């Protein structure tokens, strides 16, 4: 699962835009004013779709069988409620950990990457912004870095730092790596997301439409912000 007691050099001090993975990454970047959460397949994509429809979302890591709606952008789109609960082992857990740091917590996906970056800058007031990829889990419970989350994080970071400047404000080395991954992936987003382990699993389970929805870039200005109880349109 990784240590939750990071060392000072893990904080990426001196950089405006930072990147890390999972709850350990949240702890490492706990001094950021804003933490942007990325779980492309499927939590933050579903939360973005909910915000597009004016639906608030309570993230939960317990009671999967009692969640109000399936963790699926397509299911969220067709849900008539104005509030839903979404169970997520990864995105929800990271969101809750991020809120505990005192940072403003934003949910981002490929759908709203540029809008999320703009809102993050507005909330940060020139203080550091951290982008956290939720990742997936191996069978033993340890973090499995997920390519789709690296790409999604990179989309936000490209919008935060459009020129890749080496002068302030700029990306840390970790953030630059994610940014570069997105730039490389941008022409083939749907193909790449479909070919990831998560994408292949979703297609095999009959959720190909969720992968298509997740691969749509910058089609939304809706940005969910977490208040400790619910994600609400920011």
Q: Is pLDDT at 64 greater than 70 in this prediction?
A: no
Q: Looking at residues 52-68, what average pLDDT do you find? A: 81
Between 147-160 and 173-185, two packed helices, what is the crossing angle to 10 degrees?
Answer: 100
> How far apart (Å, rounded) are the C-alpha atoms in residues 172 and 178?
10
For the stretch 58-88, what's the b/e string if a residue is b when 16 or more beta carbons lie within 10 angstroms of its beta carbon? bbbeeeeeebebbbbbbbbeebeeeebbbbb
pLDDT band of residue 203 (cuts 50, 70, 90) is very high
> How far apart (Å, rounded) are the C-alpha atoms in residues 187 and 124?
30
End-to-end CA distance of the chain: 31
Report pLDDT digits (tens) over 7-51: 888 999 999 999 999 999 999 999 999 999 999 999 999 999 999
Give the sign of the dihedral formed by CA 96, CA 101, CA 102, CA 105.
negative
pLDDT band of residue 1 (cuts 50, 70, 90) is very low
Report pLDDT digits (tens) over 105-114: 999 999 999 9
Q: What is the mean pLDDT of the chain?
A: 94
| DSSP summary character for residue 215 | T
CATH of 13-229, one of 3.40.50.11540, 3.90.1560.10, 3.40.190.10, 3.40.50.300: 3.90.1560.10
Segment among 8-12, 66-70, 177-181 with least mean pLDDT = 66-70
Q: Looking at residues 217-221, what average pLDDT do you find? A: 98
Tokens of 209: 């439409």
Q: What is the DSSP pairing of strand 83-87 with strand 143-144?
A: unpaired
Domain ranges of the chain: 13-229
- Beta-ladder partners of 225: 106, 232
pLDDT for residue 126? 95
**Length of the chain in terms of residues written:** 234
> How far apart (Å, rounded) are the C-alpha atoms in residues 122 and 135?
26
Residue with tokens 């008539």: 80
pTM, 2 dp? 0.95
> How far apart (Å, rounded) are the C-alpha atoms in residues 215 and 209?
10
For the stretch 26-49, what's the b/e string if a residue is b when 16 or more beta carbons lie within 10 angstroms of its beta carbon? bbbbbebbbbbbbbbbbbbbbbbb
Radius of gyration of the chain (CA): 16
Closest CA to 111 of 44, 191, 160: 44
């Amino acid at each position: 699962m990784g240590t939750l007691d990071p060392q000072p050099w893990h904080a990426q001090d001196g950089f405006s835009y930072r990147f890390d993975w999972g709850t350990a990454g949240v702890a490492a970047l706990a001094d950021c004013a804003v933490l942007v959460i990325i779980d492309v397949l499927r939590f933050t994509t579903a939360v973005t779709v909910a915000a597009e429809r004016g639906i608030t979302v309570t993230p939960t890591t317990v009671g999967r069988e009692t969640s109000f709606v399936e963790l699926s952008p397509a299911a969220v789109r067709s849900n008539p409620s104005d509030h839903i609960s979404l169970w997520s082992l990864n995105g929800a857990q990271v969101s809750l950990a991020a809120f505990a740091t005192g940072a403003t917590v934003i949910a981002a996906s490929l759908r709203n990457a540029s809008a999320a970056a703009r809102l993050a800058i507005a909330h940060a007031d020139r203080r550091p912004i951290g982008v956290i990829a939720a990742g997936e889990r191996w069978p033993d419970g340890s973090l499995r870095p997920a390519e789709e989350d690296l790409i999604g994080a990179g989309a936000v970071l490209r919008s935060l730092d459009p020129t890749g400047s080496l002068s302030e404000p700029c990306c840390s080395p970790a953030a630059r790596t994610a940014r570069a991954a997105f730039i490389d992936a941008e022409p083939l987003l749907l193909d790449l997301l479909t070919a990831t382990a998560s994408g292949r699993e979703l297609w095999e389970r009959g959720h190909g439409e969720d992968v298509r929805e997740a691969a749509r870039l910058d089609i939304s200005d809706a940005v969910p912000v977490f208040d400790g109880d619910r994600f609400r349109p920011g």
